[in-house]
Amino acid sequence: MGNKIETSSGYPIFISDISERLSEFLNSGEYSKTIVLVDSHTSEHCLPLLNLSVDRIADCDIIEIDPGETNKNIDICIGILSMMNDFEMDRNSLLINLGGGMVCDMGGFAASVYKRGIDFIHIPTSLLAMADASIGGKTGLDLNSIKNLIGTFADPKAVFIDPDFLITLPERELISGYAEIIKHSLIADADQFNSVKKHKLDIPSPELIRDSVNIKNNIVSQDPYEQGIRKVLNFGHTIGHALESFSLQNDEDHLLHGEAIAIGMICESFLSHKKNGLPDKQLKEICDFLFFNFPSYKIGEEDYDTLIELMKKDKKNKKSAIQFSLLKEIGKCDYDIVCREDDIIEALDFYLQFIK
Ligand SMILES: NC(=O)c1ccc[n+]([C@@H]2O[C@H](COP(=O)([O-])OP(=O)(O)OC[C@H]3O[C@@H](n4cnc5c(N)ncnc54)[C@H](O)[C@@H]3O)[C@@H](O)[C@H]2O)c1
């Protein structure tokens, strides 16, 4: 397997056997200071592995933050920026983001605004970050539980993906990560969807991660700043992000990102059927698969108004019309489709009928 993917922005993505490539990168960079950003879980489970395989990591200072989506906010980010300053990082410094999508999004953001931008690399350690969040140059923070309200477009210098990190990832997080792999297959590769469907959702092969990265990379290369085709990557996310924000605001044991996106994909497949010609048989195929593999989430009709208000705050909307990316068939997706509130309510009803 070729384990290097070139992006159109010029940064490489390495998959598997990363220690040699990472050592080469760190030795060639001549950075004045290198800091590793971790959360407490990746500090415990991933940093020791990296220390063993890459000598230079032992010389780095560490910034550790609390884990989880509720910490992906501006207050924690200010703490990171202050520590970067305390460690006297100058413009010729490097930040290494070692973690899941939360650490990659936060670290990418912090690096992109610190002293007007310093170099950073991602070493994703969750499946979701390997297959999706570390690719494509978006950074983000939540504000008032609204997803990624603050963010920048900023490319890392390189991404190093080592599936060995997944051994310590909790099973619930692993399944959550599959949501974005499934999304990539639904929007762009029907064969991949059929192949994912046949397997148990356990630690994936490096090939599956590579194929998923390739789908995202191909789409992002055509439209880095999301003016057009990149919007297809938002399939499942208009309703999914609203549910994730709602759950972050209301539940102690909140929905994980991928879990919310899986429900979003069920609802938006319904909308795809209603508004964009997704065949009935394929709607059933998608829903059966997602219901079987992902936990359900109890919402009530009394929550619809709040959810729709959250959807209205979505960054992708134009003039407060709620915009969707919807499947035409499995493997093909269109974007900029406006749905009315009664369509959205019907989609939520569609989901609710299965979990009542
Ligand atoms: N920037 C993008 O393009 C993009 C795309 C998709 C998702 N995202 C963002 O990614 C985030 C979700 O990412 P996530 O699911 O990785 O969440 P996460 O970073 O919170 O990681 C999930 C949990 O797994 C732990 N963890 C990570 N790797 C581990 C390992 N190897 N062993 C043990 N524990 C480990 C983390 O500490 C955390 O508790 C969301 O904030 C979402 O908005 C960003």
Q: What is the pLDDT, as a whole number, of residue 313?
A: 86
Q: What is the pLDDT, as a whole number, of residue 314?
A: 81
Residues of the chain with pLDDT under 50: 1
**Separation CA 16–CA 107 (nearest Å):** 22
Q: What is the pLDDT, as a whole number, of residue 137?
A: 97
* Distance from the alpha carbon of residue 102 to the mean position of ligand 1, in angstroms: 5
Q: What is the pLDDT, as a whole number, of residue 196?
A: 96
Q: What is the pLDDT, as a whole number, of residue 332?
A: 98
DSSP codes, 61-113: EEEEE--SGGG-BHHHHHHHHHHHHHTT--TT-EEEEEESHHHHHHHHHHHHH
Cβ of 125 below 6 Å from ligand 1: yes
Cβ(141)–Cβ(151) below 8 Å: yes
Q: What is the pLDDT, as a whole number, of residue 2?
A: 55
Residues β-bridged to residue 153: 138
CB hemisphere CA count around 112 (13 angstroms): 20
Among left, alpha and beta (phi > 0; psi -120 to 50; other), residue 141 is: beta
DSSP 130: I
Q: What is the pLDDT, as a whole number, of residue 167?
A: 98
Mean pLDDT score across all residues of the chain: 96
Q: Which protein residue's CA is at the shortest distance from atom 13 of ligand 1?
A: 101
* Distance from the alpha carbon of residue 128 to the mean position of ligand 1, in angstroms: 6
Cβ(237)–Cβ(271) below 8 Å: no
